[in-house]
Amino acid sequence: MNRFSGFGGLCAAALLLSSPRALAQTAALAPVRGQVTDAASASPLPGAVVRWLGTTDAASADERGGFSIVRPAQAGVPRLIVSFLGYRPDTLTVAAEGTPYLRVALRRGTELAEVKVEGRAQAYSALTPTNSQVITSRDLTKSACCNLAESFETNAAVEVSTTDAVSGAKQIQLLGLDGAYSLLTVDNQPALRGLSTPYRLGYLSGTWIESIDIIKGMGSVVNGYESISGQVNVRLKEPDKTDRLLFNAYGNDLGKFDLNLNLASPVGKRGSTVLLLHSDHLGRRVDRNHDNFLDLPLATQYNVLNKWKYKSDKGLVAEAGVGALRETRQGGQVGFRESNPAGYYGTTMTATRYTGFTKTSYTWPGRPYQSLGLLLNGTAYSFDSQYGRRTYNGTQNTGQATLLFQSILGTTAHTYRLGLSYLHDNYWELYRTGLTYPNETPAQRYARENRRRQERVPGAFAEYTFQNAKNLTLVGGLRLDQHNLYGWFLTPRLNVKYDATASTILRVAAGRGTRIANPLAENTGMLVSSREFSVANNLQPERAWNVGGSFTQYFTVASRPATFVADYYHTEFQNQVVADMYSSSNLLWIDNLYGRSFSRSLQTEVQVEPLKGLQAKAAYKFLDVQTSYGGQLLPKFLTPRHRLFANLSYATAFDKWRFDLTGQWFGRRPLAMSPGTAHSDPYHNPLPTTPTADQLSYTPRYVLFNAQVTRAFKRWEVYAGAENLLNYRQPNPIIGASAPFGPNFDAAMVWGPTFGRLTYAGLRFRLQ
């Protein structure tokens, strides 16, 4: 959400409060007219909301602050509420007859009232032009939520999968596409991208998160050109709104524990700060399936983030923050020790990350719809990793800047945003297998093992929003970026929302996205196998069109709110960097798309509250994701075609007890050939005969259940739960585990749980 001027919230309030009845003219009762101004400057406040107390009848002030509102039909002396974002509301008693022209002068509020979205609020927003779903702070307590990866367990839109059975890396899927195709932002700034993609879901603690916005399809051009399948925006705790203290401790039966501490404090009259601390550790060697490989890697992480915020009374808001992370991981065979491998297979990874950001905005006095903002952020990320005999190291230094101006055209029905942006990425990757090739010179070997790329991308964008204050919202955007390596990127996007009735909403979205792939970082799961990597030298940017829409119906069940949502999205790639798992069993061939690649996603979901305190939601998802491999159009490996999801939540009075149960059913997933299952010679025949769809092998169907119970006290909460209640396990998740350095080793075909049931317990303590 944009915080620079708040005109988005103003427009949202206007849409929520507007009513056709308030706009009708009644012959029997003369309308009440007047003007709304700023008390200090006497300047008009266009867009101010005028509403009769106890009714939904409302009107908005025009560009001169003037308004006209029909008197209510109810008996008695009516009272008029006048409000405007950033100002203290005023309530006036209006005489039954002979009311003069009203002049209402509103005073600026020193603080905006905090609005908390609780779990019983609508998860699907009725106001946003995009198909947006919110995971609230209450939703985040329905499961352990130790990090971002676990924050989606009670959500049907996003799937989280494990990349392999050794490293513990996880990734999300949105619309059937890997997480690299969805833009991940933190407080609406792009973050955790590029080389950090394999492990980024573990780099944000769950206790740091206030809420998560999931946007399907095309988002705003303001956030860049990289989004293709959608956007996941993580809202972190705000210094001036979060608890003064939050402590969370978690432990599970695998021996992992998490400790989290949030500390917030005011700084003077205008400032505030919050310190977010996180540490987790797994030091126990667990091998439940007795394949001589650790079920989860040993890992230790230290993570800290400090945010500062300053709000003046003259329209200036400034935020700044710094963060640092250090993580180590060690996986592989139970007997592996990094200091003395002794012939055992192991994986190691050490990562460091430093980040900083500033956000500064100025809002014109008396013009809360007009503001100027500057966003700056920088990240330095580096890692050293070992996968058996392979070495994969990398560094990424990123700097981003965005200058954003927004205002209106006449009235708040027509708003626009203009901006300039600059992105600087500096990549270095070292990939060393230990293999040497005949007649290869040292210079050729260095070029093969070292990959360097420096990107400099200046850009400009414009976005126009039309709202008719009744039932139509249209957002059109266009941005143009000049990439120093790949030329011009043109990014058009359109979102339309139409309220067919007060409870029926239709949305349509279309647009284009472009991104530069990082083929090694995005396929690290395949490093835990005997497959050799072959990366083409002429990889081009990935480009895709995304078109789709949604239908949202709000209704009641037993006089309680309920929601039904159905959406469909089609993503068509013009070019894609394809990791071909089908054409060879011993080679991962990474090249540009030759043929066609697309994703079709259909999802239906219903949310109801049949009894007081009981919430239920169920969803069905259908995915058709296909790509051309070796001339054959085949389904994407390890992507289920069908998925069912259900969640039940019950809370007693005052939320003293909370019970949550989540069930997921997964359909069959296509498998790629494991190494050694077919003869191929990648050096003489890099693309052997590719199987047809009828020749593919598939995984079995299975179901998972998670449950949690929480007991709340005045300042304490104690929770306990279990994941994978039925103790389902993927049989033999590691093929060739007895000979990990042999030609048949494969730990990359992971499609189900590898360590069975997991139980955990924890506590939270907070001071508000």
Q: Which amino acid is at 727?
A: N
Q: DSSP strand E in 175-291: where?
A: 177-178, 182-186, 189-190, 209-216, 230-236, 245-252, 256-267, 271-282
Structure tokens at 24: 């009708």
Distance CA 392, CA 556 (A): 55
Residue 64 and residue 48 in contact, taking contact as beta carbons nearer than 8 Å? no
**The pair of three-digit structure tokens given for residue 414, joined into one six-digit string:** 């027509």
Between strands 542-557 and 597-611, the pairing is unpaired
Q: Among 20-29, 256-265, 343-352, where is mean pLDDT lowest?
A: 20-29
**692: how many CB neighbours lie within 10 A of its CB?**
11
Q: Which residues contact 404 (CB under 8 A, 6 or more apart)?
A: 4, 222, 372, 373, 374, 375, 417, 418, 419
For residues 669-687, give the mean pLDDT. 61
Give me the long-range contacts of 196-199 (CB less than 8 A, separation at least 24). 196/351, 196/353, 196/381, 196/396, 196/521, 197/171, 197/518, 197/521, 197/522, 198/163, 198/167, 198/169, 198/171, 198/521, 198/522, 198/524, 198/525, 199/169, 199/327, 199/349, 199/351
Quote the tokens at residue 343. Answer: 């012939």
Q: What is the mean pLDDT of residues 487-511?
A: 96
Instruction: For residues 496-501, give the mean pLDDT.
Output: 94
Instruction: Provide the pLDDT confidence category of residue 566 given band limits of 50, 70 and 90.
Output: very high
Predicted confidence (pLDDT) at residue 662 exceeds the cutoff of 50:
yes
Looking at the chain, the whole-number percentage of residues with pLDDT higher than 70 is 90
Taking only Cα atoms into account, the Rg of the chain, rounded to an integer number of angstroms, comes to: 28
Question: Residue 68: its pLDDT value, please?
Answer: 81
Is 80 exceeded by the pLDDT of residue 489? yes
Least confident of 18-32, 169-183, 253-267, 297-311: 18-32
pLDDT at 15 over 60: no
What are the E-state strand segments in 268-389? 271-282, 298-311, 316-332, 346-363, 371-387
Q: How far is CA 234 from CA 60, 172, 217, 303, 516, in A?
A: 32, 14, 17, 17, 23
> Is residue 13 scored above 70 in pLDDT?
no
Q: What is the pLDDT of residues 149-174, one digit of tens each?
A: 888 988 899 999 899 999 988 999 99
Instruction: Phi first, then psi: give them for residue 762, nearest 5 degrees.
Output: -165, 175
How many residues would you count in the chain? 768
Q: Domains (ranges, CATH) in the chain? A: 7-106 (2.60.40.1120), 236-338+348-767 (2.40.170.20)
Banded model confidence at residue 77, pLDDT cuts 50, 70, 90: low
Q: Please give the pLDDT value at position 10.
A: 34
> What pLDDT does residue 98 have?
54
Q: What does the pLDDT look like over 178-212, one tens digit per residue?
A: 999 999 999 999 999 999 999 999 999 999 999 99
pLDDT over 70 at 60, yes or no: yes
Check whether 536 has a pLDDT greater than 60: yes
Which of 138-142, 511-515, 687-691 has the weakest average pLDDT?
687-691
pLDDT at position 20 is 36
Tally of CB atoms within 10 A around 720: 15
What is the SS3 assignment for 527? helix
Q: Which of 90-104, 125-139, 348-362, 664-678 has the highest mean pLDDT?
A: 348-362
- Name residue 467's amino acid: Q
Question: % helix / strand / coil in the chain, to the nearest 5?
Answer: 10, 55, 40
Average pLDDT, the chain: 88
- pLDDT grade for 101, boundaries at 50, 70 and 90: confident
**DSSP states along 392-421:** EEEEEEEEEEEEEEEEEESEEEEEEEEEEE
User: Taking residues 333-342, what's their average pLDDT?
Assistant: 92
The confidence score (pLDDT) of residue 56 equals: 63
Mean pLDDT (whole number) for 344-361: 97
pLDDT for 316 beyond 70: yes
Q: Are 738 and 745 in contact (CB under 8 A)?
A: no
Can you tell me the mean pLDDT for 368-387? 95
Task: State the Cα–Cα distance between residues 546 and 681, nearest whole angstrom.
Answer: 38
pLDDT digits (tens, 9 = 90+) for 425-483: 999 999 999 888 888 898 989 988 999 999 999 999 999 999 987 899 999 999 999 99
95 — pLDDT class (breaks 50, 70, 90):
low
- Average pLDDT value for residue range 644-650: 96
Coil, helix or strand at residue 36: strand
Element (H, E) at 670: strand 670-671
**What is residue 506's three-state secondary structure?**
strand
CA-CA distance, 537 to 366, in Å (whole number)?
A: 56
**Of 437 and 509, the one with more pLDDT:** 509
In order, the DSSP letters of 340-365 are --TT--EEEEEEEEEEEEEEEEEE-T
d(CA 220, CA 198): 25
Residue 681 has a pLDDT of 42
| Range 273-277 average pLDDT | 98
pLDDT tens string 710-745: 999 999 999 999 999 999 999 999 999 999 999 999
What pLDDT is recorded for position 676? Answer: 67
**Coil, helix or strand at residue 547:** strand
Q: pLDDT tier at 91 (50, 70, 90 boundaries)?
A: confident
Flag whether pLDDT at 6 surpasses 60. no
pLDDT at 682 over 60: no
